[in-house]
Every structure is written in structure tokens, then in C-alpha cells.
């Protein structure tokens, strides 16, 4: 039995996502994962970016921060470094994480900041009514590419792997139980974890059927998540078959262990009585 129930996680806020949106299973999977991990609600911090996915912070009754567009990772980094006892989970969109916020991803990965980045990858800007993003497949007609997207999409898993991420996974909104397990594994991982979720936007880019016909699970193959080059190879696979599951998972020292001189104790855990502000005051006098 967890330390809180599904009812404790309710906020009472009206859910405004379109009926059938792929965000619903992500919300359900996250709540179940938090309960099954037996965490304390006060230890969980949920940070969201701007977009339809951003509503997550209004629908889960834990510590939340709805930040500005693209800045989920800087905020998550600051919170985790201030208090490493917290479980810091960022929810971002493909626009949020891979367009305006892309600069932050390689750095969080290479530093092995112990935060989780869960990307609701619906391959469009959902909230602003369906424009092209860096993950929209080539040729797809969107609100901003009425003749078809002329660009090649980027591959977020390859970026995470190439940058040194220690946990890289992909889930699908159409399989909520599998998704719940992936979220649990990402949260349990000690280090930077990126979970990209194929999240159909039923209003502007409904990919449910497309993915249902193509996805397969890595754990049902002989895939070894400790093998970096095997992970890279699987991450490149995109066509008639699309893998989901854990691509890569290894243990490495996390950032605050490498940064001990500034983290002893971490800022949020320092005794306020020991802080001498005299020098700071005199600077401004």
C-alpha cells in the first residue's frame, strides 16, 4: 500500500484536454507509478513546460511548478541541486523540450543531473493549434506546413544517447500499463533519465493507429540495455517497426556527487541560523 492513494493525488481541477487525447494515459500512468513507488507526496516535485502537456502540473496533487516555455530542465536542475532528497520529474512537450528548450537537454544528460524528463511527444505544437515541431515527420501536413513538412525530423533518443544520458526510454500512450512501468523505472534510476512518449494528439495529429501497427517492445527481444551501440542501433530504427521500452540504462556518478564542495550541505538543507548576510548587506549599502 502506497503512502497516498489515487484520491489524494486529485486536485479537483477540470481537465480540459480534448476527449481521447494521448495525455490522459500519461496522467494515469504517472499517478499509478507514484503510488506504486511508495514515495512521500511531499518529496515529489513535478515541473511542466508550456503546452497541452503543461496542464499535468494542475492535475497531480504534489509539489508543482508550471514554468515558462522550454525551461523545464534548468528549473529541475536548480531544484534537485538545492535539495537532492527530492524526486524531481519534468514533463515537457516536443516543442518545449526539442525546439525552444533543446539547448538544455545535452547538458543535463552529460552532467548526469538526477532528474527525470518525460516528453509528451505528439509531434506538433498542440496548444497553439497544431504547428510543425522538430519531431514532425517529413511530408506531414500541419497547420504551418499545409504543403507537407519539408524538414527532416530530429531523433531525440540519439541526442540523449550521444550526450551521455544514463537512462533512455520510449513509451506509447496506447499502452498505459507499459508506460507506468517505464515511468517507475525512470524515477528509480539514479541519474538523468529521459522518457520520450509517443503521444497522439487526436485533434491535430492522430497517430494512434500508425503507432499501433508498428511498435514492438524491446524487452520481448534480446536487447541488452547496457550495450551502448546496441541502444544506438535500436534508437535509429524508425519505419515499419518502431521500438518502445528501455533502450539504455547504466549507473554513473550523479552531478551532485561530483560537485561535493558546493553541496555540503546542499543549499536548501543548510541551517538558516548559520547564514551570515552581513557581507551581502554591506555590498548594497
Ligand X SMILES: Cc1ncc(C[n+]2csc(CCOP(=O)(O)OP(=O)(O)O)c2C)c(N)n1
Which stretches of the chain bind ligand X, using CB under 6 A?
49-53, 69, 93-96, 120, 122, 124-128, 133
Q: Tell me the three cell numbers of residue 31.
A: 499517478
Q: Which of 83, 144, 145, 203 forms a contact with ligand SF4 (CB under 6 A)? A: 203
Select from ligand SF4, Mg ion, ligand X, none the partner in contact with residue 254, using the beta carbon and a kind-dependent cut-off of 5 to 8 Å: none
Min. distance of Cβ 204 from ligand SF4 in angstroms? 5
Select from Mg ion, ligand SF4, ligand X, none the partner in contact with residue 50, using the beta carbon and a kind-dependent cut-off of 5 to 8 Å: ligand X
Min. distance of Cβ 248 from Mg ion in angstroms? 24
Q: Between β-strands 215-217 and 242-249, what pairing exists: parallel, antiparallel or unpaired? A: parallel
Strands annotated E in the chain: 44-48, 63-66, 87-93, 116-121, 124-125, 131-132, 167-172, 193-198, 215-217, 242-249
> By rule CB under 6 A, what string of x and - marks binding of each residue 1-20 to ligand SF4?
----------------xx--
* Residue 122 contacts Mg ion per CB under 5 A: yes
**Contact between residue 123 and residue 205 where contact means Cβ atoms under 8 Å apart:** yes
Q: Which SS3 state, helix, strand or coil, does residue 178 take? A: helix
Min. distance of Cβ 112 from ligand SF4 in angstroms? 31
Q: Which of 82, 202, 242, 250 forms a contact with ligand SF4 (CB under 6 A)? A: 202
**Contact between residue 254 and residue 191 where contact means Cβ atoms under 8 Å apart:** yes
* Residue 130 contacts Mg ion per CB under 5 A: no
Apex CA 79: angle with CA 76 and CA 81, to 5°?
Answer: 105
Q: Between β-strands 167-172 and 193-198, what pairing exists: parallel, antiparallel or unpaired? A: parallel
Min. distance of Cβ 142 from Mg ion in angstroms? 11
**Calpha distance 108→197 (Å, rounded):** 19
Min. distance of Cβ 156 from ligand X in angstroms? 12
Q: Is 158 exposed, middle or buried (0-12, 13-18, 19+ CB in 10 A)?
A: middle
Q: Which residues bind ligand SF4 (CB under 6 A)?
A: 17-18, 21, 23, 52, 122, 126, 201-204
Amino acid at each position: 500500500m502506497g503512502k497516498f492513494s489515487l484520491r489524494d493525488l486529485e486536485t479537483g481541477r477540470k481537465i480540459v484536454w480534448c476527449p481521447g487525447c494521448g495525455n490522459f494515459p500519461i496522467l494515469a500512468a504517472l499517478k499509478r507509478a507514484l503510488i506504486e513507488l511508495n514515495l512521500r507526496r511531499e518529496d515529489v516535485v513535478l515541473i511542466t513546460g508550456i503546452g497541452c502537456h503543461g496542464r499535468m502540473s494542475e492535475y497531480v496533487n504534489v509539489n508543482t511548478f508550471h514554468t515558462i516555455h522550454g525551461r523545464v530542465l534548468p528549473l529541475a536542475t536548480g531544484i534537485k541541486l538545492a535539495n537532492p532528497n527530492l524526486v524531481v520529474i519534468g514533463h515537457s512537450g516536443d516543442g518545449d523540450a526539442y525546439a525552444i528548450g533543446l539547448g538544455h537537454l545535452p547538458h543535463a544528460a552529460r552532467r548526469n543531473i538526477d532528474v527525470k524528463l518525460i516528453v509528451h511527444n505528439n509531434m506538433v505544437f498542440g496548444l497553439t493549434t497544431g504547428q510543425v515541431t522538430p519531431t514532425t515527420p517529413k511530408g506531414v501536413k500541419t497547420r504551418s506546413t499545409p504543403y507537407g513538412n519539408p524538414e527532416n525530423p530530429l531523433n531525440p533518443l540519439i541526442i540523449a544517447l550521444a550526450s551521455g544520458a544514463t537512462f533512455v526510454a520510449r513509451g506509447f500512450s496506447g499502452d498505459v500499463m507499459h508506460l507506468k512501468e517505464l515511468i517507475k523505472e525512470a524515477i528509480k534510476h539514479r541519474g538523468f533519465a529521459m522518457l520520450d512518449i509517443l503521444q497522439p494528439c487526436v485533434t491535430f495529429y492522430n497517430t494512434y493507429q500508425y503507432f499501433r501497427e508498428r511498435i514492438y517492445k524491446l524487452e520481448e527481444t534480446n536487447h541488452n540495455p547496457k550495450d551502448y551501440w546496441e541502444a544506438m542501433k535500436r534508437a535509429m530504427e524508425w519505419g515499419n517497426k518502431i521500438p518502445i521500452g528501455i533502450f539504455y540504462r547504466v549507473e554513473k556518478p550523479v552531478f551532485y556527487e561530483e560537485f561535493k564542495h558546493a553541496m555540503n550541505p546542499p543549499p536548501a538543507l543548510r541551517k538558516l541560523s548559520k547564514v551570515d548576510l552581513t557581507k551581502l548587506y554591506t555590498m548594497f549599502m
